Amino acid sequence: MILKRALQFLVSLGLMALFLYWAFRGTDTAALWNSLWHISLPWVLVLLGITCVTVLLRAWRWQLLMRPFAPAVSLWDTSLALVICYAANIGIPRSGEALRALSLNWTRGLPVTSVVATVVVERILDLVWLIVFVGLSLLVLRGRLDQAFPLLAPLSLIALLGCIVLLAALVLISLYRERALAIVGRLLGRISPALATRICGLLETFTHGLEALHSPKVYAEIALSSFLLNLGYALIIYAAFSCFAETAGLGLGAAVVIMTLSSIGVIIPTPASAGPYHFFFSQGLHQLYGVPEPAALACATATHALATLFYLAVGGPALWMQWPGRRPQISPEPPRPRGER
């Protein structure tokens, strides 16, 4: 297991190095530093302020997904768990998803498996919205985006179909939990009754985290929070444009396109998303909007560095304070009757 994780980390480092090389090769270093030196500090403060708001919006959406089985979880709890997640991902890709579930286990005593179920749903929602923005970007740019990134449209369509199938499967499993668990139990029971009991116990806890999918009333709140969250991400990019003279003239439409491309970079598992984020962000600015490469890389680098420093500054101390042994443990919340909301 340790060897496997070490190999995964080495692969992620290799991907980071490869994308950073692609992004920065042949760049005029002097022009890059000149752009960074003349960054607009007031717009930096605006960017950081919007980043705080997006954390709260994502925390609100996550709270909605947990409300049926964990109504006592506050916006403060979910916000701290999220910044811990982001801080952990800076060091080890994807480790933050487990840590944010553990954060709520440490502070609120929630079952980790149930919280992980909400994380799975949230990540699927993120991917669906990303694909929607890819479609909008393809429409707005009418062929230019296809020319710059030819595989974007077909891969997005495949991902959208996969997301729809996976979401439908989660809804069905949640609605027909007892029947699904019975089928799994019978199949695994033929191999090992003990294994069947253990797996079914985990799956039952997991499906508690899907209970928000039972209520269509929650869908509107999730859609609203998701829309505001993605608008916030686009405004972060718009604020980043305003930090530099070479990109200050770009509007919100361009910010949506670059937000979409940089989000694709975030999907690739590298420490802090470094490398892919810089590549997709800067190449989008350069190829689609004619921004000189040094200025495009300066904008990408500054946006990435500011977010990284923010999450380290907030998420690092939060993780240190929550680490087991540093604070008293809270008793788990008693399970609620299934029909109670």
Q: pLDDT tens-digit profile of 185-205?
A: 777 777 777 766 777 776 666
Closest CA to 95 of 105, 85, 107, 81: 85
Mean pLDDT of 147-151: 73
Q: What is the reported pLDDT for 340? A: 45
Residues 6 or more apart whose CB falls under 8 angstroms from that of 322 comprise: 80, 84, 103, 106, 107
207 close to 191: Cβ distance less than 8 angstroms: no
Instruction: Tell me the C-alpha distance between 305 and 136, whole Å.
Output: 28
Q: What is the chain's mean pLDDT, rounded?
A: 85
pTM for the model stands at 0.84
Instruction: Provide the token pair at 271.
Output: 């420490």
% of the chain beyond a pLDDT of 70: 89
Question: What's the rounded Cα separation, in Å, for the pair 303 and 241?
Answer: 9
Q: Domains of the chain: which residue ranges?
A: 31-322
* Number of C-beta neighbours around residue 71 at 10 A: 13
pLDDT digits over 209-266, tens only? 677 776 777 888 888 999 999 999 999 999 999 999 999 989 998 999 999 999 988 9
Confidence class of residue 46 from pLDDT cuts 50, 70 and 90? very high
- Compute the distance between CA of residue 321 and CA of residue 220 in angstroms, rounded to an integer: 35
Give the pLDDT band (50/70/90) at residue 125: confident
